[in-house]
Amino acid sequence: MNDEKKMECAPIKPMIDLDLLKRVDIRVGTIRSVDDIERSRSLVRLTVGFGDHERTILAGLKGAGRNLEELVGMQALFVVNLEPKEMFGETSEGMLFDVGYEDGLELCLAIPERQVSDGARAG
């Protein structure tokens, strides 16, 4: 158990059908680079390798309390079948999976417990 103060848990979201969950494509990717988006107070541009291709994924990691260059070379989980989204003149082609952001916790990436092939599916 860590030393963080105990947080109050958010209510569980409404139940969903297993088929709906199976539609979400979560993959392991390696963060190749982290670049600042100067016009944004929170967003950075991640270049992420998924084995057979790379994607640009925008993530709100500025001010997260860590050196973002440490993320380069790390594997993490990403949702890869979201519609592309335009933000600050950039296109995001997925979403970084994190733990605790919605609860106001310090940045914690959802990562595989050991090195696996980029593009490996979660679930």
The pLDDT tens digits for 47-90 are 999 999 999 999 999 877 778 999 999 999 999 999 999 999 99
Looking at per-residue pLDDT, the higher value among 16 and 123 belongs to 16
Q: Is the pLDDT of residue 107 over 70?
A: yes
Give the count of domains, the chain: 1
Instruction: State the pLDDT at residue 5.
Output: 62
Q: Is 110 inside any structural domain?
A: no
Beta bridge partners of 86: 91
Range of the domain at 72: 22-103
**pLDDT for 59:** 95
Measured distance CA(123)–CA(107) in Å, rounded: 22
Three-class SS string for 50-114? CCCCEEEEEECCCCCCCCHHHHCCCEEEEECCCCCEEECCEEECCEECECCHHHCCCCCECCCCC
Tell me the one-letter amino acid at 96.
L
Would you say residue 42 lies in a domain?
Answer: yes
10 residue type, one letter: A
pTM (global) more than 0.85: yes
CATH code, domain with 78? 2.40.50.140
Question: Within a domain: residue 98?
Answer: yes
The answer to whether residue 17 sits within a structural domain is no
Whether residue 85 lies inside any domain: the answer is: yes
